[in-house]
Amino acid sequence: MNKLMLSVLSLGLLFLVSSFTEPPKESKPTKGINWVTIEEAQELSKENPKKVIMDVYTDWCGWCKKMDKTTFADEKVVEYVNENFYAVKFDAEANKSFAFKGQEFTNPQFTKALRVSGYPTVVFFAEDFSKFQPVSGYRQADEFLKMLESFNQAEPAGK
């Protein structure tokens, strides 16, 4: 009898405790820009040519962080970039090396070759990487979206 009473009390206590705890919330996948490396962008462009945008940033850049949290998180910007571009996230000061169009670069060397003089800078590339255009400075989402649309409709100027 005592065992039965103890079992019933235990089950009741278990039920009571479980009713006060929240069920685990389902985590929604966060939709963001599909960032790739410069090497991946080159490979992807061979199979399915698209223009490329490269976010050139540094870890210490406050405006870069703000652009990540606002502009690059904006729903319309995310959708437009993912549909029309390959997007590369590029740390200008990282101690890495990679191949670009058959030539080896370090991140700082490539940053210099792209004529990046401030952060953040977004570099727009033609589908075949033959032309590029750096655009420096923080941009709000609406302004950045207009810039994306403009670059998507015309070839970037100059190399």
Q: Are 87 and 50 in contact (CB under 8 A)?
A: no
Q: Are 57 and 89 in contact (CB under 8 A)?
A: yes
Please give the average per-residue pLDDT across 27-41, as a whole number.
Answer: 82
Report residue 51 as tokens: 């223009």
**What's residue 154's pLDDT?**
73
Instruction: Please write the tens of the pLDDT for every residue from 47-104.
Output: 999 999 999 999 999 999 999 999 999 999 999 999 999 999 999 999 999 999 999 9
Residue of 153 and 106 predicted with greater confidence: 106
Domain 32-153 sits in CATH at: 3.40.30.10
pLDDT at 14 over 50: no
Domain regions of the chain by residue span: 32-153
Would you say the pTM of this structure is higher than 0.85? no
Cα three-residue angle 15-20-26, rounded to 5 degrees: 105
Q: Hey, what are 146's tokens?
A: 């207009």
- Does 8 score more than 70 pLDDT? no
CA distance 65 to 67: 5
126 φψ region: left (φ > 0), alpha (ψ -120 to 50), beta (else): beta
> Tens digits of per-residue pLDDT, 58-72?
999 999 999 999 999
